[in-house]
Amino acid sequence: MAALPPSNTARFWLDYSDGVNEHSITFRIAPTATLLTIKSQVDNFLLELEPGLHVITILGCRVAVAGSNVTNPTAWTGAATYGTGAMAAEDAPREVRFIGRSTDGREVSISVYGTSFSVPATFRITSAANATIADAILALANASALGVGLTISGEVPVWKAYASYNYNSYWEREARP
């Protein structure tokens, strides 16, 4: 399968801080998705994930049209923060990743830092074992159906019934003196 350019679809970025590092979540969006729909669907996802989050603070959001690498800021209309309790610095590299795949074989992933889930022995949290993960996956599926959270080819993915849990090597290196 041939690689597609990163700017193949329009994109929406939500920039946030987990109290230790700044991160961005990227959502690929359909050309028909309005900013109101995009922001409400991203907010719904974070609200469903909130019971599994330490406090994350929203720093802003940006959009780029398909074919362009220029991002433009837009006002965030969701909550200013999500989650409860400060995250310990040693937890900064912990990442929960939601994965989907469309019928054309393209994969999409949404990574979130600042989570408060216990580390499972399998490094995977299934929707059957955790209601918060189940609710977050359902929110992603609903968002994708409305054109928010697509694959790089612009197709609607089927989201896996789990979230992968890992320690991100980049953030591990960043934490070292």
pLDDT value at residue 51: 98
- Confidence (pLDDT) at 96: 97
Which residues are registered as beta bridge partners of 59? none
Within 4-142, strands assigned E span 10-17, 22-29, 56-64, 72-74, 81-82, 94-101, 107-113, 124-126
pLDDT of residue 146: 98
Question: Where are the domains positioned within the chain?
Answer: 10-175
The single-letter DSSP state of residue 52 is G
User: What does each of the 177 residues of the chain score in pLDDT, given as a tens digit?
Assistant: 889 999 999 999 999 999 999 999 999 999 999 999 999 999 999 999 999 999 999 999 999 999 999 999 999 999 999 999 999 999 999 999 999 999 999 999 999 999 999 989 999 999 999 999 999 999 999 999 999 999 999 999 999 999 999 999 999 998 888
Cα 153 to Cα 28, 64, 156, 169, distances in angstroms:
9, 16, 9, 28
